[in-house]
A and B are shown apart, each in its own frame.
Chain A
Amino acid sequence: MNKAMPQVFSPEHKLSKLIQHNSDLLFMLQHFNIHLPLQDKTIANICAAQNISEKLFITIANLYNNNSLSPVTDLPFTDANTLLLFLKNSHVFYSEELYPKILDTIEAMAKVNTHKEMVLVQKFFIDYFNEVTEHLAYENKIVFPYVLSLLKQIENPKAPNQSNSNYTVSEYKEHHNDIEEKLIDLKNLLIKYLPEQDDQTIRRKLFFKLSKLESDLAIHSNIEDLLLIPLVAKMENYLKDARK
């Protein structure tokens, strides 16, 4: 990493400069719905324009720079909205952009590499893609609406409690599995074992794509574990106390 990289982000930093140092932040911009070009805007400018709290933005940016791995317990409840938007956008990005592109690349590789193992690799990835789709759908359909319903109850305590389920965040914690695992398996197959056949260029391409996806997924699950789950647990406790 470049030495000039600020250790910790601050609101006065120009976002464009930070991206020069860590291009993975481009993924973060997509998840926040921030479009290029950025001109000379600072983090503070962009957060104000997009209605994102600076603290949340910087916390997530730090995760992209591997600066902090501590649970964040002091986010305000209202940040749940932005957090959900961020996670939903990442889901769309994974399922509509990254995964299909990787699948295309595997198919292209299977055209030049006709070893029988390539057929297994294709099947491996399709099965894995289905698992991931299921995992994302669970979050979209169960977890995120649940968080929104909590937020509604907090903002409007007089409204009747619409969610009559007994769902709690601890159930989500249990449902949480390690979705990067199979990407690591596939990377090892590519670099260690899969027999070659005129495929070095496309094999490299595939490997880089898998690595990018793996690192964004790792940050994604860190955001869920370190930001979302503590925040939702706090919301649950707040509502429990309010009902007393």
Chain B
Amino acid sequence: MPVNKPIQILLIEPSLLIAEGLTSLLNKQQMRFQVSTTDNLDNIELQLSKGNWHLLIINPALIQYNPKTMQSLKNRFDKLQCIALVYSYFDERILAKFDETISIYDTQNTIASKLEKLISKQPKESSNNSQEVLSERETDVLKLLATGLSNKEIADKLHISIHTVISHRKNITQKTGIKSVSGLTIYAVVQKIISTESIQL
């Protein structure tokens, strides 16, 4: 992760005092934390989908009685690391679901180093020298995609599962930066993967 990018933290804490206190501690770090706060779980999925969040700090009391929320968040935002913010003793089985625990009695340095540790564990964003050349199979998929076939039709034609087609498409988009079929068609023409004659104008 580039050093100059702030680390986006979402803090979910019902106590205003605690939320403001932790936010001001993290801002003091002169580090690269950028904290947003909310006091409940109501719009949490929407909010998480809006930004590029790295860490989620949450009071475990909020999820104690609906552990499924946590699991579904983890499934949907797989890069996100979750930290429990505890006031006092808390059931170990619940804390075990989190990647880390911070206590309101932790010092500023302890908190910062715990967060830093989690950040350094995160997978690096695709580095600049990564291969952007499409694999042979990806090129096959792109060819058929550009001629107007659906995922299902491509799967049948190449004798692969629809799931595999989708995963190839994901990789193509990641490598090219282009998501729409019409955009990918232009890419395929530029790269001479298909000719203009083979597409319907």
Q: Residues on A close to B: CB < 8 A?
A: 68-71, 73, 116-117, 119-121, 123-124, 127-128, 181-182, 184-186, 188-189, 192-195, 222, 225-226, 230
Contact = CB atoms under 8 A, between A and B. Distances in A.
B50 A225 contact: yes
Nearest to B189: A117
A181 B180 contact: yes
B146 to A, nearest CB: 11
Given A70-B38, A230-B43, A184 B179 contact: yes
Interface of B: 36-38, 42-43, 46-47, 50-51, 176-180, 182-187, 189-191, 196, 201
B186 A121 contact: yes
A185 B188 CA distance: 13
A117 B42 CA distance: 47
Contacts of B176: 188, 192-193
Nearest to A127: B182
Contact of B180 (A73, A182, A192): A182
A116 B50 contact: no
Contacts of A195: 190
Contact of A69 (B50, B182, B184): B50
Nearest to B37: A70
B47 A193 contact: no
A184 B184 CA distance: 12
20 contacts: A69-B47, A70-B36, A71-B42, A73-B42, A117-B186, A117-B189, A120-B201, A123-B201, A124-B183, A181-B179, A182-B180, A184-B179, A185-B178, A185-B182, A188-B177, A188-B178, A188-B183, A192-B177, A193-B176, A194-B186
Nearest to B53: A69
B183 A186 contact: yes
The interface centre, meaning the residue of A71, A116, A121, A222 with most chain B CB atoms within 10 A of its CB, is: A71
Nearest to B176: A188
Contacts of B46: 71, 225-226
Nearest to A221: B50
Given A69-B50, A70-B47, A193-B190, A185 B36 contact: no
Contact of A120 (B42, B180, B185): B185
